[in-house]
Amino acid sequence: MTNQAVAAPNKLDAAVLKIAGVVVLGALMSILDVTVVSVALPTFQTEFNATYAQVAWTMTGYTLALATVIPLSGWAADRFGTKRLYMLALLLFTLGSALCATADSIGQLIGYRVVQGLGGGMLMPLGMTIMTRAAGPERIGRLMAVLGIPMLLGPIGGPILGGWLIDAASWHWIFLINVPIGAIALVYALVALPKDTAEPSESFDFVGMLMLSPGLALFLYGISSLPETGTITATKVWVTMLAGAVLVIGFVLYSFKQRHPLLDLRLFRNRNLTIASVSLFVFIIAFMGAGLLFPSYFLQVRGESTLHAGLLMAPQGIGAMLTMPIAGTLADKIPIGRTVPFAMALIAAGFFAFTQIGTDTSYWLLCGSLFVMGLGMGGTMMPIMTSALRTLTNHEVARGSTLTNILQQIGGSIGAAIMSVILTSRLNGSDPIPGLNDPRTGAPITEAGAAIANQHGAQLPLPPSVIQRGLEFVADSFATTFWVGFALVLATFIPIAFLPRKREVSPLLDDPAGDGGDRAGAPAMIH
């Protein structure tokens, strides 16, 4: 067995791509699962005779499990080795998927989704660690571009796959499909991933875990409850958010006093990591939050089916696929501070079109705008993540990837909550229809609610002018919400202005032999 130092061949050779295949497969399962399940929520309501608030816990429970387990990934990767831990994560996710398909109550389904989330939460940070160590600093940009494909295509392919499986078979298959894929991924990981070494010297930070994991879970639970309550003053929102924030702040203060904290915040002394992390955080809030509303517009305003809404989102994925390999290559050769602003400009240009939407906006315009946004996304997200990890040592990579994944999880939840609350509050301002009440709640049905119901086949006995007025109100509500998203996209230009504009040498190149203690370098691969 020989070690190949990080001054590896400039191109991605077959051995490195084989490792990348394992990680992409795991990431694709985890990310697709989130969006596939979101499509199935109405089906769960019918199958389990549950309210929307109850079935929404199939999403929230998964998210909270992710938040709980992600902080453990960095320590566990050092303690047990990335290969064994990655295979355990795949096993948990696959087992959770199989259990979900057997659920005969909404409570069981939520519990099994938590099991899924415990595995899914470790797949992304571990995958990033494995790929960063495999590629070495000179090729990390191109390899991270490979990992970015499932991250960008998941939200597009999920609704298409979910809609097709539910229509063609049953809801059980949105989970059962993961079982054979998970089994293949486990065998693939066993064969393809190189044997790695664990570092059992670090003690586990139990105190840190008791603060950080529950703190993140409580904070995200509060945020996730915002769309349901519509106000931050609701007890279940502000109390849980405050309790979570206190625990997280307590961990921050505590972590700087520990030699081996659960999450090493001292990494933020690295300027590149800090700037890239802030840029990524703001970008995720802006884009992931608003990104959830794109298919909702097609569903609620234009009356498209879930499958058609997913297909209309496809241009975004196509655009990202075109630019992502190019951006990955450029990230290995040109400082990202010189390329990412141009990619963000494409995102802003494409996003602006959605601030102008109405009830009959041209699909050519919207799909073209999504394509332009996709071109920008392909040149933004993964280069920023590359910048965050490139200047870390081998010993720091697992902790650094854990940090970036936690920020993504928090940013995505905040973005989704902000956009959902703004849209919901706008829709609630629609005029009620006299004498027409919801039979389940007794609440008056608004013109906006009637228009959305009509788009989904309800055919309420109302004059066409009322339905049209309601549709126009819904479209205007989406446009207003997209204005907020557009403002957040523009705010992303502030942190990315500080991204590195000069070529920097990675510390991994300073000690390729790997014998420099904490500053040790990583072999590009072991074979």
Residues 85 and 13 in one domain: yes
260-281 per-position pLDDT tens digit:
777 778 888 888 888 888 888 8
Residues 105 and 225 in one domain: no
Given a cut of 80, is residue 440 above it in pLDDT?
no
Range with the lowest mean pLDDT among 142-156, 242-256, 359-373?
142-156
Q: Is 152 exposed, middle or buried (0-12, 13-18, 19+ CB in 10 A)?
A: buried
Residues 403 and 420 in one domain: yes
Range with the lowest mean pLDDT among 43-47, 148-152, 299-303, 363-367?
148-152
Higher pLDDT, 201 or 379: 379
Q: How many domains does the chain have?
A: 2
Residues 69 and 197 in one domain: yes
Q: Are 208 and 253 in contact (CB under 8 A)?
A: no
Residue 5: band (very low, low, confident or very high) from pLDDT cuts 50, 70, 90:
very low
Domain contains 478: yes
Rounded to 10°, the helix 447-455/293-300 angle is: 80
Domain contains 504: yes
Higher pLDDT, 148 or 194: 194
Residues 272 and 125 in one domain: yes
pLDDT at 445: 78
Give the CA radius of gyration of the chain.
Answer: 23
Boundaries of domain holding 252: 205-261
Residues 337 and 225 in one domain: no
Entry pTM: 0.77
pLDDT at 93: 93
Residues 210 and 85 in one domain: no
User: What's the 3-state SS for 83-117?
Assistant: HHHHHHHHHHHHHHHHHHHHCCCHHHHHHHHHHHH
Given a cut of 80, is residue 89 above it in pLDDT?
yes
Given a cut of 60, is residue 480 above it in pLDDT?
yes
Residue 513: band (very low, low, confident or very high) from pLDDT cuts 50, 70, 90:
very low
Average the pLDDT over 331-335 and give the result: 79
Residues 199 and 321 in one domain: yes
Q: Are 132 and 389 in contact (CB under 8 A)?
A: yes
Residues 369 and 493 in one domain: yes
Residues 121 and 227 in one domain: no
Distance CA 201, CA 185 (A): 30
User: First CA to last CA across the chain, in angstroms?
Assistant: 6
Distance CA 125, CA 400 (A): 9
Residues 267 and 253 in one domain: no
Domain contains 437: no
